[in-house]
Amino acid sequence: NQFTSQMMQRCCRKGEEGGASEFRPILSNLIDDLLLVRYLIEFPAAEMLLLSLSHRLGSDLIRASSHSKQVETTYLATAMDAFGKITSAVASTLQQNRENPFKLPESMSPEDSPEPQEEVNRCFCGRGNLDTFMVDCDRCHSWFHGSCIGITKDTVPDMWFCDDCTLQTAILDQAKVFARSNGGSKVLSTKDH
């Protein structure tokens, strides 16, 4: 919170006070970078920083619209652009999650495995098929942008599973443990929670 507060204070200075023109592009680049890495496990604070920045940007924009005091117009343009980037990314993610919700099957047994489906792009970024490096889930055969999942052409693992398949595999492993401790029932259903 202190980082975002300091960054925003420097960005909203008037031109004569110096420094603002240097920090506004940094803010814009920071937001672009945070949006790219927000789902990567290596950057756990990215989402929190975006949330803090969006709260501050929204507050500044609301304050500027309700005060008669003149606020630097270039800062308002930067703030509006930055706030728009963040909200656009959130709306895109929300739409993607609504179109492709994660659903657990009604019941799962250890013998269940997904039938190979039509190979589709199910990347959580929602950018569609781009002319870029993509990775195929070895279980459900859905495609994901390498940049979104943190895999480059040089670091492709022999086997890779998407988050949905990783979670389902973990649930199946728990079903096996449940079956051993429950006298052999091999099916885990939604009633077993």
| Two structure tokens written together for 45 | 């604070």
Give pLDDT, residue 193: 47
Helix or strand or coil: residue 143? strand
Separation between Cα atoms, residue 50 and residue 46, nearest integer Å: 6
CB 9 within 8 A of CB 24: no
Q: What is the three-class DSSP state of 45?
A: coil
Q: State the Cα torsion 166-168-172-178 to the nearest 10°.
A: 110
Q: Calculate the dihedral angle through the C-alpha atoms of 172, 177, 179, 180, rounding to the nearest 10 degrees.
A: 150
The model carries a pTM of 0.58
Cβ neighbours, 10 Å, residue 104: 12
Q: Under a CB-based contact definition with an 8 Å cutoff, are residues 119 and 143 in contact?
A: yes
For the stretch 10-69, pLDDT in tens is 887 766 655 567 888 888 999 999 998 888 878 889 999 999 999 988 888 888 888 756
Question: Where do runs of H (alpha helix) occur along 12-72?
Answer: 20-37, 46-66
The model's pLDDT over 146-181, given as tens digits with 9 standing for 90+, comes to: 888 888 889 888 999 888 888 888 887 777 777 777
